[in-house]
Structure 1
Amino acid sequence: MRCEHTAARSRAAVGPLSVRVRPGQLRGVLIGGVVLLLLVVAALVVGRSTSSPADLLAVFTGDASPSVTRSVLGRRLPRALTATAVGACLAISGAVFVSLSRNPLGSPDILGFTSGATTAAVVAIVLFGGGVVVTAVAALVGGLATALLVYVLARRDGASRGPRLVLVGIGVGAIFSAVTSLLVVRADLDTAAAANLWTAGSLVARGWPHVIALTVAMGVLLPALVPLVRQVSLMEMGDETAHGVGIRTEPVRLAAMVLAVTLAAVATAAAGPIAFVAFAAPHLAAGLAPVAGIQLWLSAVVGAVLLNAADLLSQHVDFGMRAPVGSITSVLGGLYLLWLLARRL
């Protein structure tokens, strides 16, 4: 990675990707990166059998015992990396949709995309006894199909407007949530338990296949999304203004939607429906570095930090039961939403 500094901004480049990052954003990304690293280290050393930093170092130098190596490399590290990738995917998706909808509530979970992915996964579990791969594929297809449905229903006069997108998404999400509940209620006890476990959102038993799948997906989707960020940010000023500077708004909007929905669907397929990370991360990023436009990388870091912190809470705080990470993010996200509404009303 290289950074070229000017008086007004920094240019960060990673391989073929090159994006402008303002100093405030770069500072936020660096601080968030340090916090994220500390959380990942904590996830590696804290567990049923607590390891010391020296044990952790020994794992990576090849001097640790086989049991410690299996614990760190076989369970804890892939789980932490999965949390990092899922949190980043959800946050990036949320940042894009907040900009596209021009609405602070425009995140994938509120727009109904996560509900559609969840319904498809539950259909795979309840009706077809879906295994891990089948359920993940169903969630991915369900999220994309729901996004297409919302986009088509939100179109009027050849364009999809932000407020209409949000209202249609909320309605579609409510329908899919009702269908999911009906499927679970009508299922037998074991199947209903499996469906409920998946819909809670969890990082339990996440391994290297999940990390590899998420890494490949991000490696394909982000290079396609990054060139659209500037155009989507300009579209926040209105379609007429964007047309005036030569942006073909509807093709750009559709392409950005497809890429952002795919990121959210991939994250949901990997960990189940993790609520409110996609909603909260862009707002927190905007608070850390209040500049115009989509804060893609800062949102990604904030999302990764949020999900790793929530996963640590779910593993090591006694709630009277082992709470799924999706339940933790739902509670924290609900509190954050109430605080946000209290500030604005």
Structure 2
Amino acid sequence: MSVYILGIESSCDDTSAAVFKDETILSNRVANQEVHKDYGGVVPELASRAHQQNIIPVVDKAIKDAGITAADINAVAYTRGPGLMGSLLVGTSFAKGFSLANNIPMIDVNHLHAHVLAHFIKEQNEETEHPEFPFLCLLVSGGNSQIVLVKSHLDMEVVGQTIDDAAGEAFDKCAKVMGLPYPGGPLIDKLAKEGNPEAFTFSKPRIKGYDYSFSGLKTSFLYFLRDQLKENPDFIEENKKDLCASLQKTIIDILLDKLQLAAKDLKINQVALAGGVSANSGLRIGLENLAIHKKWKTFIPKFAYTTDNAAMVAVSGYYKYRLSQFVEHDAAPFSRVVF
């Protein structure tokens, strides 16, 4: 008998709901919050208020899009963390209410695990190739940069992670220094396509093992611009495309150098991307080129499944449902990284 899972995602500023029939997606609705652009970053209080306004209509549309009713749903999966506490509380509270109202179990999902499991989303009438276990997943987003050894759907180990800032944070903060609006990462990617990635050189960290560090790069970038602006106040505007291309190349080199080392040491030739930064075209091309050289088999998610979405939460919930890994209604969300 088929299993219908309702997924709820509310970890940051996107309110999303999805419905799955087993591993197959039936619907995925996302409500974005434009208000944060005026503040140069996500404002937690505004995000939680917007979630309260969006979650009921988003869930309603997702269920209708799926062609089912609430009575058909077997379980509700929701993002328990990590994320913004106020935002998580909205999704958690809704999941608890929906569970009680429909007398169905609740499944708590780790947001980071869900990004990895986005690779196992099946779409109707479409053949999709999935990674084979074990594989490495480079999980890169605004808040996380990790290399994850994925042993099974529910067995994952972080073998490398950032010791300070994440790659997505480096993109956004360096973009802000250049006067680009939030979110800066996609704009850097767009401008980088027209720039020279070899125009400027920025420092790369020397961290042992598979861990990352991006704080030094941000400092190097800031000081470089400060020195150049003293001589030419129009330096940023005159060199914006080359700056974006050079910065992006540096970040991608840092990410892929560690990934390459981990794959070699762990003797793994299946590699996947996940997280919001996996939408970056330069990173995608860089991984594909490296895969040709290293003879890797790579997996890159569709753009719709790179940013925060409930589809990845629902498919994660399906795998936990099969093992009856449910959670009680007194389970509290967590804001910090727990893998």
TM-score under structure 1 length normalisation: 0.29
Answer 1 or 2: which has greater strand percent: 2
Answer 1 or 2: which has greater helix percent: 1
